[in-house]
Amino acid sequence: MRLHNLQPRPGSKHRRKRLGQGESSGRGKTAGRGGKGQTARSGGSIRPGFEGGQMPLYRKLPHRGFNNYNHRTEIAVLNVGDLASLDAKVKEVDAIALAAAGLIRGGETTVKILGDGELSRALKVTAAKFSESAKAKIEKAGGQALVG
């Protein structure tokens, strides 16, 4: 098989329907756009939610309440098992070291360590939060879990 022999499977390619090619083509005259009016014109489209000048539903309904999405604090979550994958030279772990290792995104500064996995060497871990099991596993391995 060579590149010049490649072709799509039979039936996978369809001819593009050519609109406005005379009345006998089946898609002539108005070319599937109906009669006259805004939608028949080129560039004529109605924005979503527009109801022909009638007061639209999204303006009729009351808008109440509060959404915390823009004010939330992003917390990067990491397991104790992920700390074990760090380079053996690393003794102190913080958000900057984790970002450098590719375990969290660069801009994330708030980190929570969870207790899934095992840790076999002593690490001095600085994070915003620790679960109880994560703290216990880090200290059991001879390390320190510092909140900061």
pTM value is: 0.57
When the pLDDT of each residue in the chain is averaged and rounded to a whole number, the result is 93
According to CATH, the topology of domain 74-147 is Ribosomal Protein L15; Chain: K; domain 2 (3.100.10)
- Sequence-separated (6 or more) residues with CB below 8 Å from residue 28: 20, 21, 22
Instruction: State residue 13's pLDDT score.
Output: 95
Q: What is the DSSP letter of 77?
A: E
What's the rounded mean pLDDT across residues 133-140?
96
In three-state form (DSSP H/G/I as H, E/B as E, the rest C), the secondary structure along 78-131 is EEHHHHCCCCCCCCEECHHHHHHHCCCCCCCCCEEEECCCCCCCCCEEEECEEC
pLDDT at res. 65: 92
| pLDDT classification of 48: cutoffs 50, 70, 90 | very high
pLDDT at 71 over 90: yes
Residue-wise pLDDT tens digits, 87-115: 989 899 999 999 999 999 988 889 999 99
pLDDT at position 1 over 90: no
Q: Provide the token pair at 62.
A: 């009351």
- Say which residue the tokens 């703290």 belong to: 135
Q: What is the pLDDT of residues 114-124, one digit of tens each?
A: 999 999 999 99
Contact of 3 with 9, CB cutoff 8 Å: no
pLDDT band at 44 (very low <50, low <70, confident <90, very high): confident
Q: Give which of 130, 117, 123 is closest to 77, Cα–Cα.
A: 130
